[in-house]
Chain A
Amino acid sequence: MIKHLTSLALFLMALTSFAAPKTVTIAAVNNPAMIELKKLSPKFEAANPDIKLSWVIVEENILRGRVTTDISTGSGQFDLVFLGLYETPIFAKRGWLREMKNLPASYEVEDVFKSLRDGLSFSNKLYALPFYGESSMLMYRKDLFEAKGLKMPEQPTYDDIQKFAAALTDKSAGIYGITLRGKPGWGENMAFIGTLVNTSGGSWFDMKWKPQIDTPEWKNAVSYYINLMKNYGPPGATANGFNENLTLFASGKAAMWIDATVAAGSLSDPKESQVAGKVGFARAPIAVTPNGSHWLWSWAFAIPTASKSGEAAEKFALWATSKEYINLCAADTGWATVPPGTRQSTYENPEYQKSSPFAAVTLQSLQTADPTNPCLHPVPYHGIQLVGIPEFQSFGTVVGQSIAGALAGNMSVDQALKAGQAAATRAVRQGGYLK
């Protein structure tokens, strides 16, 4: 045993110090697009024999914790990390990320959507390359709508949604009118609720950083959400995040779903979805104002400054986010499942338009999502479904937990919002925003 361990240790040492190829350790999330990238990555390794890829694929929450501890302590365990639109500018501000500069002309960085480039930049320098981008939209079952004689307007309102959900719910048949995120977390239920609050005329803070969570706008929006989910949503909604809802919708249990535009690809893939071909797509509903009614998010590749294989990592990041990779992906699994939402050229491709009935709605949503102007009234922060400050994770999660508690019936909406208001006040006061 000991002998084995010793030889293993020697072997590992040999691998890291003497071996010719540079190892790039990648921390990534276990979503289908990433699994596909891993599957296709031997092509990159074949073209770059001096680079060896080593993957750490874990679920999103574990990833976030791992990456943040690694980067903030400068451990350098990872050479390439999968970061969100929220973290990138915050990390970049600390000097934890390597700037993505002097990108080769063949990469055509101008082809990447400007909203994403802006979101992944800090003081006008780009720090991450988007692997995919998303906004939110409404997905619905065309067959169920037809059966009930309903018609989806081009731009639905939340009043329409309530009527549709009432008409489509058939609990005895196991069909729920609508499913929405209920799992607590700033990136889970608060992503949706954030957009609902925005379009209802509310915001997280006013211009003086005074939290607005106890205002009537929040109360109306959250009460609407809870009534809708209690009457027409699936049981166990507080456990449903993006992935759980994808499962519900893909197996035909829900008639409507407002969530990330990237879901559309999976839903159109007959291998993964029992409702492929029956799904319609519309813009995310609005209430009082169109501002901030649909979110903007991206998962992107960034290189920690502590990495010792920065050059090699950049090479791979460029490849994984290139046009070439998108074409490779299309050849492997078809156009409908290529990583969406990053490049204008993808949406101009007639083949993509043909195979992806959701292309037009996605493009429109992405182009109109404006993190600099997310609310009816001006606000001091950037971000539609998030507030671009490090403290947001903490109070965003508390608010999310309270609303989930209200959804489960453990507390009233007023109690939930009061707890959220207190958490947000404390956070911005401690962080020195609120004087």
Chain B
Amino acid sequence: MAASTKPNRLQTLLQAPAVGVLFLWMIVPLAMTIYFSFIRYNLLNPDTKGFAKFENYKFLWEDPAFFPAIKNTLVLIGSVLVITVVFGTLLAVLFERKFFGRNIATLLVIAPFFIMPTVSALLWKNMMLHPVYGLLARAFAAVGLTPIDWFGHYPMVSIIALVSWEWLPFAFLILYTAMKSLDHEQREAAQIDGASSVQMFFHITIPHLKRAMGVVVMIETIFLLSIFAEIYTTTSGGPGTATTNLAYLVYSLGLQQFDVGLASAGGILAVILANIVSFFLVKMWAKSLKGGG
């Protein structure tokens, strides 16, 4: 990036609206949430009111779902990131070669990205993974195996699979685009030097894709932190707390138990967790930005 020019008023004015509205959009609800998190506020029982000190945070801390929720949030993000980046890279390499009907195949691969989260979840819950009528259950039964109750016995695995299916196209799109700018001469030179395709993959392709991977990780993390519709639709956070993430926990406190105070405390803790995660992301991103721009 070139050296900064001294900002003048017009330039500041260009940036002000975006920064201003975002600031309001963040600070007003946040301030209200912080306030709510320190009072007793139950939508259904206005009799319980008043300053609660740290009571809401204490109750949340003692909530048997709280630590599982943090763990689940991180497990979900981590697994989906690994799956989408690894498979996205392999797919990008696979699709970078010319082959018959590549454009149509690309259309099919990116299709899941257009589907509403609720629809994806309904589709997988019912038509694909339903333990009695789902296609997988039918297939298992057809070859004489006992159908597996995916969302009951492997709830987290199922959610991870579902979310990965939704986000794989996104990772693929970005990595695929990045693949296109791979220097062909460099590759040919390596080929002439007798490098095997595996060697080329690790020494030329992967380093080239590093920045794109960073982008995928960052954008996906932002969206995955607040994954909600998929869990709500398929497992409702269960069985037990097996798939309750922070977003779902906050939902169940606020919109199922109508305890706004408790839900706000959960929201604040979610913000803190998000900031911890983003701290690491920013470090990573700063590295990737240094490379160019």
Please state if B152 and A237 are interface contacts (CB–CB under 8 Å): yes
B75 to chain A, nearest CB (A): 15
B122 to chain A, nearest CB (A): 11
Contacts of B155 in A (CB 8 A): 408
A391 in contact (CB, < 8 A)? yes
Please state if A405 and B240 are interface contacts (CB–CB under 8 Å): yes
Contacts of B132 in A (CB 8 A): 174, 234-236, 248, 253
B36 in contact (CB, < 8 A)? no
Please state if A402 and B240 are interface contacts (CB–CB under 8 Å): yes
A39 to chain B, nearest CB (A): 24
Binds B, one of A65-73, A75-83, A120-128, A201-209: A65-73
Please state if A410 and B44 are interface contacts (CB–CB under 8 Å): no
Known contacts A235-B152, A402-B240, A405-B242; is-contact A397 B258 (Cβ 8 Å)? no
In the bound assembly, the distance between CA atoms of A55 and B10 in angstroms comes to 49
Please state if A68 and B152 are interface contacts (CB–CB under 8 Å): no
B211 in contact (CB, < 8 A)? no
Please state if B152 and A393 are interface contacts (CB–CB under 8 Å): no
B125, B151, B234, B238 interface centre (most CB from chain A within 10 Å)? B238
Please state if A239 and B45 are interface contacts (CB–CB under 8 Å): no
In the bound assembly, the distance between CA atoms of A1 and B102 in angstroms comes to 35
A401 in contact (CB, < 8 A)? yes
B145 to chain A, nearest CB (A): 13
Number of interface residues of B (CB under 8 A): 38
Q: Which secondary structure dominates where chain A touches chain B? A: helix
B33 in contact (CB, < 8 A)? no
Contacts of A390 in B (CB 8 A): 42, 44-45, 258
A419 in contact (CB, < 8 A)? yes
A290 in contact (CB, < 8 A)? no
B236 in contact (CB, < 8 A)? yes
B46 in contact (CB, < 8 A)? yes
Known contacts A69-B255, A235-B149, A236-B151; is-contact A404 B240 (Cβ 8 Å)? yes
Please state if B64 and A184 are interface contacts (CB–CB under 8 Å): no
Known contacts A234-B131, A236-B149, A408-B153; is-contact A90 B256 (Cβ 8 Å)? no
A407 in contact (CB, < 8 A)? yes
Contacts of A404 in B (CB 8 A): 238-240
Please state if A391 and B45 are interface contacts (CB–CB under 8 Å): yes
Contacts of A393 in B (CB 8 A): 44, 256-258
Contacts of A65 in B (CB 8 A): 255-256
The residue from B48, B130, B149, B240 contacting A401, defined by CB atoms under 8 A apart:
B240
Residue of A nearest to B59 (CB): A426
Binding site for A on B (CB under 8 A): 42-46, 48, 59, 62, 64-65, 125, 130-133, 147-153, 155, 234-242, 252, 255-259
17 residue pairs bridging A and B, Cβ less than 8 Å apart: A61-B256, A72-B258, A73-B43, A174-B132, A184-B236, A234-B131, A236-B131, A236-B149, A239-B152, A251-B133, A393-B257, A397-B257, A401-B241, A402-B64, A402-B240, A404-B240, A405-B239
Binding site for B on A (CB under 8 A): 61, 64-65, 68-69, 72-73, 90, 94, 174, 183-185, 234-239, 248, 251, 253, 390-391, 393-394, 397-398, 401-402, 404-411, 419, 422-423, 426, 430-432
Can you name 18 extra interface pairs (CB under 8 A) apart from A68-B43, A410-B242? A90-B44, A234-B132, A235-B132, A235-B148, A236-B132, A236-B151, A237-B152, A239-B151, A251-B133, A390-B42, A391-B45, A394-B256, A398-B64, A401-B65, A404-B240, A407-B239, A426-B59, A426-B62
5 shortest interchain CB distances as A-B pairs: A405-B240, A408-B239, A394-B257, A236-B131, A390-B44
